[in-house]
Structure 1
Amino acid sequence: MIRMLLRVLGDEYAPPVRRTITLMTVTAVVEGLSYALLVPILRELFGADPAAARPWLLAFAAACTLYAVLRYRSDLSGFRVGTTLLRGVYHRLGDHLARLPLGWFNSGRVGEVSTLASHGVLQAMSVLAHLLAPLISAAVTPLTIVVVMLAYNWQLGLAALAAAPIVVAVQLWAGRSMAATDAERHARDREATGRVIEYLQAQPVLRAGGRTVERFDLLDDALHDLQRASRRSALSALPGVIGSALTVQAIFTALLTLGAYLALGGNIGAAELLAVLVLAARCADPLLSLAEMAGAVRSARAQLVRLDILLHTEPLPEPDHPIRPARYDLEFDSVTFEHGDRTVVEQLSLTVAEGRRLAIVGPSGAGKTTLLQLIARFHDVTAGAVRIGGVDVRDITTTDLMSQIAIVFQNVYLFDGTIEENIRLGRPDATDAEVRAAATAARLDEVIDRLPGGWSAHVGEGGALLSGGERQRVSIARALLKDAAIVLLDEVTSALDPVNEAAVHEGIERLMRGRTVVMVAHRPRSVHRADHVIFLTDGAIAAAGTHTELLTTDTRYAEFWGASTATGHADLSDARGTLSMPRVGRGSPL
């Protein structure tokens, strides 16, 4: 487990842990050696001159004092290092999660990451503060005592040494017997956490359907499964605990019998026998505590294993020889992208000239948002290449790539802070004047004027205290402040009321001015702004041209547009499934 702990901490945080482990090991050895003084003490006390035991008693007192000081220092070091490293591990975990490809974050990992980032990290780091010292003491002190026993009587020492593999075997057997139930309990815990999150997110739907007083069956089933798995895990621990206790007691009894036999045969004196039995009894205590700690140790080690797996999940590779593009035109060169067993984009080729605007139109599931994500390198393509200014995005560092791209998504997430803090995410070193200019350009100033607190008004977690249109204005102001050369828009007005839509469109127009723009367009107003339109179906380009050209020359595009407007929906993706559109040419220049 210690090796796994060091792997999880990494090279940056491992040295203080090694120092703490060394101090704890020295403490455990001193504890074991202090018991060696019991033999001369008891020999003198049972001898002809009990006063001769005084020097040994003083030495024993000094050894106990040294042990107390070392124990205090090692425990304090464990608490301090554990507290310090808890923050370090959170930083390392956060940095690593930020580098993982977006495709890694599927819905099944919501509960897993939530549990691991909260309970898992705390439990893993509690090893340093609460488990490491007693664990090292339970392993090292008995071994030191066995060495002491060998020094005073080789028969009893060998007997104690021979018992060590038996204790280890019992512990390993207990661990293996619990492995399956522990894994099941973790899986159920992850499932239950995911269902709790799902239940909270589903509150608007449940309340709209008048189901606030009904039980949520999926959550109930997950909690019942977790309860049953926890019960099985607890029951599976009993054989190991009982087996360890019986083994230790049986070994102690065997040593007692052997000591009595040697004493009766005159091989050892009564003082030596009493001292050795005291050593054996002291050796049994940490072994019994080791059995009691086994469950906590296994649970902590399981969390460390999960942390290790997560921290060693490969992020998208950074280029060995990075190139910074000098232009901002875009190119998809025979791009294929597969997600799981599904081909989302297949052999797609297109170009967008610098400073031009491309609108991507198509039914839901056609791969529109995926194209934006490939430009921003949220995923790596399966085949082909995505280029900016003729440079493959895989040859651009993540920092340089993201500095050149401003992204505005339909669903905006704001951090729990002030409006100004959320805008500054676009460029933290911006001046106050630049922040306010960006807010004015996004027509956010009129929102700020009517909010209590103005610029200091808090937006709530996720921006919950603002409306959808107000959150979009913050997002646009953030993008304007960033002043990136490439703008990616995933239809940002599809769910807005007319007033907010007009304001957001005005801000978007300022954002797009003079920049290379790729937008997922669901509304006529957005499509009319584009210099070029591609009609995407099943990850391939079915038609390409201007909006006016496609309405007159491509019947499928016209039918798709007509189906959308006929049903009264401006969102073109609502027409999914109403038309059958075969693929045509896969390439489109702009």
Structure 2
Amino acid sequence: MIRMLLRVLGNSYARPVRRTVVLMTVTAAAEGLSYALLVPVLSALFGAAPADAWPWLAGFGAAVAVYAVLRYTSDLSGFRAGTTLLRGMYHRLGDHLARLPVGWYSAARVGEVSSVASHGVLESMGVIAHLLSPFISACVTPLTIVAVLLAYHPPLGLAALLAVPLVAAVQVWTGRSMAAADADRAERDHEATGRVIEFLQAQPVLRAGGRTAERFALLDDSLREVQRATRRSTLAALPGVVGLTLVVQAVFTAVLVLGAYLALGGDIGAAELLAILVLAARCADPLLSLADIGGKLRGARSVLAKLDTVLRTEPLPEPAAPRLPDGHDLAFDSVTFRHGDRVVVDDLSLTVPAGRRLAVVGPSGAGKSTLLQLLARFYDVDAGAVRVGGVDVRELSTEALMARIAFVFQDVYLFDGTIEENVRLGRPDATDAEVRAAASAARLDEVVERLPGGWSAHVGEGGALLSGGERQRVSIARALLKDAPLVLLDEVTSALDPVNEAAVHEGVERLMAGRTVVLVAHRLRTVQRADHVVFLDRGRIAEQGTHEELLRRGGRYAGFWAIATAPA
């Protein structure tokens, strides 16, 4: 558990945890040693000269004071380490997620990462603040007391030592028996959460169908499965809890019986036996707490395992000696790219001279958007090379590549902030005048003027408070502000009303001026101003040429154009 925690934290963040673990271990050992002083204290009190107990009582008090200081310091260290590492862990996770290939982010994985990044990180760092200290105390303090018993009276110490392998065996057995139940419970909880979200999202459909009075069967079934999984998890934990209690009580009884036998035989005094039984009782309390701590640790370990899996996912490799591109031309050199078992781009070669516009058209699934993603190195090619300025994108640092590319995609995501904050993402150090100029060029100023808060108006999560066309204008303004030499456009006018479409087209034209552009188009009217048009089909180039040349050939592109321009 601690080893996995240290691996998740990484070397730079693990050092304070190691220091905290050492301090907590010393504290737990000090607690056990302070209890050891009870033996001479009780022996003196119940012996022939009770007054001899005073020096031992003073020593016991001093030991307790030292333990109290150590306990305060170790607990404080645990809380400080947890809170400090929480921020560091978020930075480490965020930096790692930013370097993973976009193809890694499937719909199911996004939900899982969202859960891990929110409650998962908090729970894993809570281990340091809340679980490490009681866990270490429950392990180290009894072992220290057993060591004291072995030194003071070996036969009774050996009897107490029997608890160590038995307790360890019970804990291992409980952990293994609970693993399947815990995994099933987590899966059922995840499914139930999805069903709740589905139920909420389906409200318009359910109400339109007049089914508001009915129960949502899928959600009911899912909640029943959660109930069954919880029952199975509880029943699976019960034998471990009972077994641990029986082992601890049995060993304590064995120590008691053996001690009574030795006392009756005159091998140990009644006072010494009483002191040893007090020590044995102090062993029992932390050992019994292992059942509760173990359950919490298993839950935390499950979260840590998910976090560890994410952090161990290999990102796209960065070049050891990054190069800089010589110009802004683009080239696909015999590129092949597979997504799973499917070939998305098949041995494709293509060049785009600097300052020219390339339009990519074709049916859905032809690989059009994938070309943009390969240019931006959201994925690495399986064969061939994608080059920017004559340099393979794999030889460019991520920062250098991203600095040269401006994106405007069909699905625009805006962060839950103000319009100005979302535009400034293009270039955070831009002046107010530059931000206003970019907004005016994208005709975003028209949107700002009619919003109650103006530039300070919040866009909502994902830009939910703006329309699709308004979000596109923010995206174009952001790209204009970035002023990158390469522009990648993925059908930015799809599903827009005529007014927004005209405004977006105007902004796109200003964005493309003087830059190298790759434009993916579904509406073929947007490709007429392109210098070169490529028609893709199943990842291969079926036709290419200018718009007029392709119309004269009467091939696939001409057929698409005829359908697109046919009167409704």
What do residues 323-355 of structure 1 show as CA deviations (whole Å, max 9, x unaligned)? 110211111111111111211111111111111
Mapping for residues 55-134 of structure 1, pairs under 5 Å: 55-134=55-134
Cα separation, 2, equivalents of 1:395 and 1:208: 55
| 1:66 shift after superposition | 1.5
Cα separation, 2, equivalents of 1:427 and 1:185: 46
SS of residue in 2 equivalent to 1:108: helix
Confirm or deny that 1:228 pairs with 2:262: no
Aligned residue in 2 for 1:54? 54
Distance 1:449 1:200, change over 3 A: same
SS of residue in 2 equivalent to 1:529: coil
Aligned 8 A contact 1:110 1:194 in 2: no
| 1:228 shift after superposition | 2.5
Confirm or deny that 1:17 pairs with 2:23: no
Cα separation, 2, equivalents of 1:91 and 1:139: 33
Query: Any gaps of 5 or more consecutive residues in structure 1?
Result: 569-590
Confirm or deny that 1:163 pairs with 2:134: no
Aligned residue in 2 for 1:384? 384
| 1:221 shift after superposition | 4.0
Per mean C-alpha deviation after superposition, the further-off stretch among 383-392 and 159-168 is 159-168
Aligned residue in 2 for 1:559? 559
Aligned residue in 2 for 1:32? 32
Cα separation, 1, equivalents of 2:236 and 2:563: 61
Report the AA paired with residue 370 of structure 1. Answer: T
Aligned residue in 2 for 1:327? 327
SS of residue in 1 equivalent to 2:225: helix
| 1:219 shift after superposition | 4.4
Cα separation, 2, equivalents of 1:547 and 1:210: 51
What do residues 226-270 of structure 1 show as CA deviations (whole Å, max 9, x unaligned)? 332232222211111111111111111111111111112221111
Aligned residue in 2 for 1:176? 176
Report the AA paired with residue 333 of structure 2. Answer: D
| 1:200 shift after superposition | 5.2
Cα separation, 1, equivalents of 2:218 and 2:344: 30
Aligned residue in 2 for 1:456? 456
Identity of aligned residues (%): 75
Cα separation, 2, equivalents of 1:344 and 1:458: 39
Cα separation, 1, equivalents of 2:218 and 2:427: 43
What do residues 421-474 of structure 1 show as CA deviations (whole Å, max 9, x unaligned)? 101100011111111111111111111111112111111111111111111111
SS of residue in 1 equivalent to 2:541: strand
Aligned residue in 2 for 1:404? 404
Aligned residue in 2 for 1:419? 419
Mapping for residues 433-582 of structure 1, pairs under 5 Å: 433-566=433-566, 568=568
Distance 1:279 1:230, change over 3 A: same
Mapping for residues 298-309 of structure 1, pairs under 5 Å: 298-309=298-309
Equivalent residue pairs, number: 568
Cα separation, 2, equivalents of 1:505 and 1:275: 88
What do residues 542-588 of structure 1 show as CA deviations (whole Å, max 9, x unaligned)? 111112221220432222332344484xxxxxxxxxxxxxxxxxxxx
Cα separation, 2, equivalents of 1:318 and 1:439: 35
Cα separation, 2, equivalents of 1:110 and 1:197: 15
Query: Any gaps of 5 or more consecutive residues in structure 2?
Result: none
SS of residue in 1 equivalent to 2:162: helix
SS of residue in 2 equivalent to 1:411: coil
> Once superposed, what is the RMSD of the aligned Cα atoms?
1.7
SS of residue in 2 equivalent to 1:316: coil
| 1:111 shift after superposition | 2.4
What do residues 475-505 of structure 1 show as CA deviations (whole Å, max 9, x unaligned)? 0000000011110000010111111111110
Per mean C-alpha deviation after superposition, the further-off stretch among 271-280 and 84-93 is 84-93
Report the AA paired with residue 524 of structure 1. Answer: L
Report the AA paired with residue 500 of structure 2. Answer: N
| 1:156 shift after superposition | 1.1
Aligned 8 A contact 1:361 1:535 in 2: yes
Aligned residue in 2 for 1:347? 347
SS of residue in 2 equivalent to 1:337: strand
Aligned 8 A contact 2:162 2:251 in 1: no
Confirm or deny that 1:253 pairs with 2:253: yes
Report the AA paired with residue 87 of structure 1. Answer: R
Report the AA paired with residue 547 of structure 1. Answer: H
Cα separation, 2, equivalents of 1:530 and 1:311: 43
What do residues 299-322 of structure 1 show as CA deviations (whole Å, max 9, x unaligned)? 111111111111111110000111
Aligned 8 A contact 2:532 2:545 in 1: yes
Aligned residue in 1 for 2:284? 284
Cα separation, 1, equivalents of 2:202 and 2:475: 25
Per mean C-alpha deviation after superposition, the further-off stretch among 111-120 and 399-408 is 111-120
